[in-house]
Chain A
Amino acid sequence: MKRFLEKAVKWLLTASGFVTSAVILLIIGFLFTEGAGLFREKVIEEGYVLALNRENPVRKMDAAQIKAVFDEDITNWSELGGPDLPIETFRLEDADDYFSEEELGSQYENAGSLIASLVASRPGMVAFVPETLIPEGADLNFIEDSSISPAEVFAGSEWYPTATPAPLFGMWPLLAGTLWVSFFAILFALPFGISIAVYMAEVASERVRNFLKPVIELLNGIPSVVYGFFGLIVIVPLLQQVFGLPVGESGLAGSLVLAIMALPTIVTVAEDAMRNCPRSLREASLALGATKWQTISRVVIPSSMSGIASGVVLGIGRAVGETMAVLMVTGNAAVVPTSILEPLRTIPATIAAELGEAPAGGAHYQSLFLLGVILFFITFFINLCVEFISSRNRAKNS
Chain B
Amino acid sequence: MDSKNTSNTVPPSGPVPGSPDSMSGRSGGSTPVFPEDYSVRKRRSQKAAFAVFRILSLFIVLILFAILGFIIYKGAGVISWDFLTKAPSDGMTSGGIFPAIVGTLLLMLGSAIVAFPVGIMSGVYMNEYASRGWVVKFIRLMTNNLSGVPSIVFGLFGMALFVKYLGFGDSILAGSLTLGLLSLPLVIRTTEEALKDIPAGIREGSLALGATKLQTIWKVVLPMAMPRITTGLILSLGRVSGETAPILFTCAAYFFPQLPTSIFDQCMALPYHLYVISTSGTDIEAQQPIAYGTALVLIVIVLIINLLAGLMRRHFEKRLKIK
Give me the interface of A with B, judged by CB distance under 8 Å: 2, 5-6, 9-10, 12-14, 16-21, 23-24, 26-27, 30-31, 34, 191-192, 195-196, 198-200, 203-204, 212, 214-219, 221-230, 232-234, 260, 263, 267, 291-294, 296-297, 314, 317, 320-324, 328, 348, 351-352, 355-356, 360, 368-369, 372, 375-376, 379-380, 382-384, 386-387
**B57 — which chain A residues lie within 8 A by C-beta?**
195-196, 199-200, 204, 212
B189 smallest CB distance to A (angstroms): 10
B87 smallest CB distance to A (angstroms): 21
Do A226 and B125 touch across chains, with their CB atoms under 8 A apart?
no
Do A21 and B150 touch across chains, with their CB atoms under 8 A apart?
no
Given A17-B121, A27-B149, A379-B153, 8 more pairs with CB closer than 8 A: A10-B129, A24-B149, A26-B157, A222-B67, A293-B42, A321-B151, A328-B279, A360-B164
Which of B67, B138, B152, B238 lies in contact with A352, CB distance below 8 A? B152
* SS of A interface (majority): helix
B296 smallest CB distance to A (angstroms): 9
Whole-angstrom distance between the alpha carbons of A351 and B244 in the complex?
13
Do B278 and A328 touch across chains, with their CB atoms under 8 A apart?
yes
**A221 — which chain B residues lie within 8 A by C-beta?**
235, 238-239, 242, 302, 305-306
Q: Using a CB-CB cutoff of 8 Å, which residues 261-294 of chain B contact chain A? A: 271-272, 274-275, 278-279, 291
Whole-angstrom distance between the alpha carbons of A104 and B155 in the complex?
47
**Given A9-B214, A221-B239, A232-B279, also A199-B156 (CB < 8 A):** no
Closest residue of A by beta carbon distance from B275: A225
* SS of B interface (majority): helix
**B128 — which chain A residues lie within 8 A by C-beta?**
13
Do B291 and A214 touch across chains, with their CB atoms under 8 A apart?
no
Do B244 and A223 touch across chains, with their CB atoms under 8 A apart?
yes
Do A223 and B303 touch across chains, with their CB atoms under 8 A apart?
no
Whole-angstrom distance between the alpha carbons of A375 and B242 in the complex?
21
Which of A12, A19, A34, A387 lies in contact with B160, CB distance below 8 A? A34
Query: What string of 1s and 0s marks CB contacts (under 8 Å) between B36-73 and chain A?
Result: 00000011011001101110110111011001101100
Do B278 and A229 touch across chains, with their CB atoms under 8 A apart?
yes
Do A322 and B142 touch across chains, with their CB atoms under 8 A apart?
no
Q: Using a CB-CB cutoff of 8 Å, which residues 82-140 of chain B contact chain A? A: 117-119, 121-122, 124-126, 128-130, 138-139
Whole-angstrom distance between the alpha carbons of A224 and B299 in the complex?
11
Do A222 and B242 touch across chains, with their CB atoms under 8 A apart?
yes
B49 smallest CB distance to A (angstroms): 5
B232 smallest CB distance to A (angstroms): 13
**Given A21-B139, A369-B160, also A348-B152 (CB < 8 A):** yes
Do A323 and B278 touch across chains, with their CB atoms under 8 A apart?
no
Which of A225, A355, A356 lies in contact with B242, CB distance below 8 A? A225
Whole-angstrom distance between the alpha carbons of A80 and B309 in the complex?
66
Interface: B206 (CB within 8 A): no
Interface: B193 (CB within 8 A): no
25 A-B contacts (beta carbon < 8 Å): A13-B122, A17-B125, A20-B122, A30-B157, A30-B165, A31-B156, A31-B157, A195-B56, A199-B50, A214-B310, A222-B302, A225-B271, A225-B274, A229-B291, A291-B42, A293-B7, A294-B10, A323-B152, A375-B153, A376-B150, A380-B148, A380-B149, A383-B148, A384-B145, A386-B144
**A217 — which chain B residues lie within 8 A by C-beta?**
306, 310
Do B248 and A13 touch across chains, with their CB atoms under 8 A apart?
no
Do B156 and A372 touch across chains, with their CB atoms under 8 A apart?
yes
Do B298 and A223 touch across chains, with their CB atoms under 8 A apart?
yes
Whole-angstrom distance between the alpha carbons of A195 and B235 in the complex?
26
Do A2 and B212 touch across chains, with their CB atoms under 8 A apart?
yes
Give me the interface of B with A, judged by CB distance under 8 Å: 7, 10, 42-43, 45-46, 49-50, 52-54, 56-57, 59-61, 63-64, 67-68, 70-71, 117-119, 121-122, 124-126, 128-130, 138-139, 141-146, 148-153, 155-157, 159-161, 164-165, 181, 184-185, 188, 212-214, 235, 238-239, 241-245, 248-249, 271-272, 274-275, 278-279, 291, 295, 298-299, 302-303, 305-306, 310
Do B53 and A24 touch across chains, with their CB atoms under 8 A apart?
no
Whole-angstrom distance between the alpha carbons of A291 and B7 in the complex?
12
Whole-angstrom distance between the alpha carbons of A200 and B58 in the complex?
11
Whole-angstrom distance between the alpha carbons of A320 and B150 in the complex?
8
Whole-angstrom distance between the alpha carbons of A348 and B119 in the complex?
27
**A379 — which chain B residues lie within 8 A by C-beta?**
148-150, 153
Whole-angstrom distance between the alpha carbons of A51 and B259 in the complex?
53
Do A376 and B153 touch across chains, with their CB atoms under 8 A apart?
yes
Closest residue of A by beta carbon distance from B49: A293
**Given A229-B274, A229-B291, A229-B295, also A23-B43 (CB < 8 A):** no
Whole-angstrom distance between the alpha carbons of A328 and B275 in the complex?
8
**Closest A-B pairs by Cβ, 7 of them:** A223-B242, A321-B150, A293-B46, A17-B125, A199-B53, A16-B121, A13-B125
Do A226 and B299 touch across chains, with their CB atoms under 8 A apart?
yes
Whole-angstrom distance between the alpha carbons of A223 and B67 in the complex?
12
Whole-angstrom distance between the alpha carbons of A13 and B218 in the complex?
13
